[in-house]
Structure 1
Amino acid sequence: MSLLPSSSDPPPSARVAAAVRHAVAAGLLGESSPVAGFVDTDGVRDLVAALHEAFAGVPGVLHTFAAKAASLVPVLRLLATCGMGCEVASPGELRIALDAGFAPSKIVLDSPAKTRDEIRRALALGAALNADNLAEVDRIASLRPSDAVSAIGLRVGPQVGGGSIGAKGPAAPAPRFGVALSDPGARERVIEAFAARPWLTRLHARPGSQGCSPELIAAGIGEVYRLAEDINDRLGRPQITGLGIGGGLPVSVADDTVRPAFAAYVAALRAAVPALFDGRYALVTEFGRSLMAENGFIGALVEHTKDSGGRRIALTHAGAQTATRTVLMPGARPLRVGAFDADGLPKTGPALVQDIAGPCGFAGDVVAHARELPELRAGDYVVLYDTGAGCFSTPWACGSLPRPAVYGFSAAAGAGQDGPTVRFAPVRDAQSLDSIAAESGLAHVEALLQLDA
Structure 2
Amino acid sequence: MTQTSSQSASPPPSAASPQAAASGRSPYVADAVRAAVEQGLLGGHSPVAGFIDTDGVRDSVAALRDAFAGTPGVLHTFAAKAAALIPVLRLLADCGMGCEVASPGELRLALDAGFAPSDIVLDSPVKTREEIRLALALGVAVNADSLDELRRIDELRSPDTVSVLGLRVNPQVGGGSIGAMSTATATSKFGVALRDAGAREAVVRAFGERPWLTRLHAHVGSQGCPLDLIAAGIGATYRLAEEINGRLGTRQITSLDIGGGLPVNFADDTVRPAYTDYVAALTEAVPGLFDGRYALVTEFGRSLLAKNGFIGALVEYTKDAGGRRVAITHAGAQTATRTVLMPDAWPLRVGAFGADGRPKEGPPLAQDIAGPCCFAGDVVAYGRELPELREGDFVVLYDTGAYYFSAPWAYNSLPRPAVHGFRATAGGAGAEVVFAPVRDAQSLDSIAAECGLAHADALTVPGGGPARPA
Q: Which residue of 1 aligns with 2:454?
A: 443
Q: Does the CA-based 8 Å contact 1:260-1:290 persist in structure 2?
A: no
- The TM-score normalised by the length of structure 1 is 0.95
Name the structure 1 match of 2:445.
434
Equivalent residue in structure 2 for 1:418, among 426, 429, 432: 429
Query: Does 2:149 match 1:117?
Result: no
1:134 equivalent in structure 2: 147
Q: Matched residue pairs, number?
A: 442
Secondary structure, counterpart of 1:22 in structure 2? helix
| 1:89-138 residue CA offsets vs partner (Å, 9 max, x unmatched) | 00000001000000000000001100111000100000001011111111
Describe how 1:12-411 pairs up with structure 2 within 5 A. Answer: 12-411=25-424
1:159 CA drift (Å):
1.4
Closer/same/farther in 2, CA of residues 167 and 435 from structure 1, 3 Å limit? closer
Q: CA deviation at 1:400?
A: 0.8
Change (3 A) 1:222 1:22: same
Measure the CA separation in 2 of the matches of 1:111 and 1:396: 22
**Kept in 1: contact 2:181–2:221 (CA 8 A):** no
- SS across alignment from 1:448: coil
Equivalent pair of 2:26/2:56 in contact (CA under 8 Å): no
Deviations 1:316-350 (A, max 9, x none): 11111111111111111110000000001111111
Partners of 1:392 and 1:310 lie apart in 2 by: 34
Instruction: Name which of structure 1's ranges 162-171 and 395-404 shifts more when overlaid on structure 2.
Output: 162-171
Give, as a single letter, the amino acid of the residue that structure 1 aligns with 2:441. A
For residues 215 and 377 of structure 2, the distance between their equivalents in structure 1, rounded to whole angstroms, comes to: 43
Question: Identity over the aligned pairs, expressed in percent?
Answer: 74
In 2, Cα distance between equivalents of 1:166 and 1:432: 36
User: More relative contact order in 1 or in 2 (CA 8 Å, sep 6+)?
Assistant: 2
Who is 2:19 aligned against?
A: none
SS of 2:28 mapped into structure 1: helix
Q: Is the 8 A contact 1:14 1:420 kept in 2?
A: no
How many angstroms does 1:260 deviate by?
4.5
Q: Is the 8 A contact 2:262 2:303 kept in 1?
A: yes
TM-score of the aligned structures, taking structure 2 as reference length: 0.92
Alpha-carbon distance in 1 for matches of 2:333, 2:24: 29
Q: Deviations 1:286-330 (Å, cap 9, x if unpaired)?
A: 000000011100000000011112221111111111111111111
Give the AA of the match of 1:123.
L
Alpha-carbon shift at residue 447 of structure 1 (Å): 1.0
Deviation of 1:156 after TM superposition, in Å, equals 0.7
The 2-side partners of 1:310 and 1:279 are apart by 62
1:215-248 Cα deviation digits (max 9, x unpaired): 2211110000000001111111111111000111
Stretch moving more, 197-206 or 26-35: 197-206
Q: Is the 8 A contact 2:47 2:330 kept in 1?
A: yes
Give a deviation string over 1:257-288, Cα, whole Å, max 9, x none. Answer: 32550011111111111111111111000000
Using the alignment, how far apart are the partners of 1:35 and 1:176 within structure 2?
A: 36
User: Cα offset for 1:393?
Assistant: 2.8
Q: Runs of 5+ in structure 1 lacking a partner?
A: 1-9
With 440-449 and 390-399 compared, the bigger mean Cα shift is at 390-399
Structure 2 distance, partners of 1:167, 1:36, is 27
Partners in 2 of 1:94 and 1:188 — Cα distance?
33
**CA deviation vs aligned residue, 1:386-423 (integer Å, no higher than 9, x gap):** 11111123311111110100000012x245x7153211
What do residues 164-218 of structure 1 show as CA deviations (whole Å, max 9, x unaligned)?
Answer: 2234211223222111111111111111111111111111011131111222211
**Other structure's SS at 2:258 match:** strand
Q: CA RMSD in A?
A: 1.4
CA distance, structure 1, for counterparts of residue 397 and residue 246 of structure 2: 51
